[in-house]
A and B are shown apart, each in its own frame.
Chain A
Amino acid sequence: DSGVTQTPKHLITATGQRVTLRCSPRSGDLSVYWYQQSLDQGLQFLIQYYNGEERAKGNILERFSAQQFPDLHSELNLSSLELGDSALYFCASSGEWGGGYTFGSGTRLTVV
């Protein structure tokens, strides 16, 4: 157990639908990151939050959005889903002074 909790582990949904992925960071970590990993794209950075505020944006589509709540958990919202959105979505958190990221076990999203 890495200390980063992601739910759900698996999600199957139809095209056009909207889903929410949830992440609880490791205790004490203020930064949360979302990554998407698909077979042909590798691990792509989507967005980072630090203590409730958006800190950095990567290759996140306009159909996707995220937020970090006062208790530091984060949610990634994916809407108007397309087949190509099928991927593993990872959440990671990090501490204040390096030590790298701690990743969760991911949510496998399948869009049918």
Chain B
Amino acid sequence: LAKTTQPISMDSYEGQEVNITCSHNNIATNDYITWYQQFPSQGPRFIIQGYKTKVTNEVASLFIPADRKSSTLSLPRVSLSDTAVYYCLVGDIPPGGGADGLTFGKGTHLIIQP
């Protein structure tokens, strides 16, 4: 499994765009990149998943450069409720079996201030 490196913590202000970068230098050809958000005492929640280039959904964008050795989660116009831990996971998602026990690291603790 590809090892990931993220900042331990970040802070920003309401209304700002926040970018969290994850390094995954040994990403394999079949690996996907998935980001999760976790609030205290709750299970992580899927945010976005991608393989290459850019993916956008209603809550975030995911930028993946051509070499795929890093990825950036972009949260537009954050609010206080975006204060949470964000995890970057990299791993294979084979057909017929789901994702094989991906390990979450310590994640990035994002703090949004008024």
- A interface residues, Cβ below 8 angstroms from B: 2, 4, 29-31, 33, 35, 42-45, 47-48, 50, 55-58, 88, 90, 92-106, 108
Contacts and interface: CB of A to CB of B under 8 A. Distances in A.
Interface of B: 32, 34, 36, 38, 41-46, 49, 87, 93, 95-107
A93 B106 CA distance: 21
A48 to B, nearest CB: 5
Contacts of A4: 43
14 contacts: A30-B98, A43-B38, A44-B104, A48-B98, A48-B101, A58-B101, A88-B41, A96-B95, A98-B99, A100-B49, A101-B46, A103-B43, A103-B45, A108-B41
Given A42-B106, A44-B103, 4 more contacts: A4-B43, A43-B44, A98-B32, A101-B44
B49 to A, nearest CB: 6
A43 B95 CA distance: 25
A47 B100 CA distance: 9
Contacts of B87: 43
Contacts of A99: 46, 49
A89 B106 CA distance: 16
B41 A102 contact: no
A92 B79 CA distance: 27
B76 to A, nearest CB: 20
For the complex of A and B, list the 10 residue pairs with the smallest distance between their C-beta atoms, beginning with the closest. A103-B43, A31-B98, A94-B98, A100-B46, A56-B101, A43-B104, A98-B93, A48-B101, A45-B101, A90-B43
A94 B32 CA distance: 14
Nearest to B50: A98
Nearest to B101: A56
Nearest to A94: B98
